[in-house]
Amino acid sequence: MDNQEIIDQLTKVCICKGVSRQTIKKAISEGADTVEKVWSKTNTGNGSCKGKRCGEKIQQILDQWNKGQ
Ligand code: FES
């Protein structure tokens, strides 16, 4: 496991559900290519903030991912 993976594991993207960036990236790697798909695949976006906090962060991760492809 490299440093980036460790950081991804420790960084919570969806605070309401306690879901890490690693889990979000895994969902993207498995084909979730929109924020809504990531939300449904990882059971996020449905916490008390209704995705207000994590939606933007997930979009940023998607943008970075698409740049790297
Ligand atoms: S941070 Fe994801 S639903 Fe609130």
pLDDT (tens digit per residue) in 1-47: 899 999 999 999 999 999 999 999 999 999 999 999 999 999 999 99
Domains of the chain: 12-68 (1.10.10.1100)
CA of 61 to the centre of ligand 1 (A): 15
- For residue 24, count CB atoms less than 10 angstroms from its CB and return exposed for 0-12, middle for 13-18, buried for 19 or more: buried
Q: Ligand 1, residue 48: give the atom nearest the CA.
A: 4
Q: Ligand 1, residue 50: give the atom nearest the CA.
A: 3
Residue 7's pLDDT is: 97
Residues near ligand 1 with C-beta < 6 Å?
14-17, 44-45, 47, 49, 51, 53-54
Scanning the chain, the segments in alpha helix (DSSP H) are 3-10, 21-29, 35-42, 52-68
| Residue 18 host element (H or E) | none
Q: Does the structure show a pLDDT above 90 at 61?
A: yes
Q: For a pocket test of ligand 1, which of 52, 59, 60 has the largest count of ligand atoms closer than 8 A to its C-beta?
A: 52
Residue 68's pLDDT is: 87
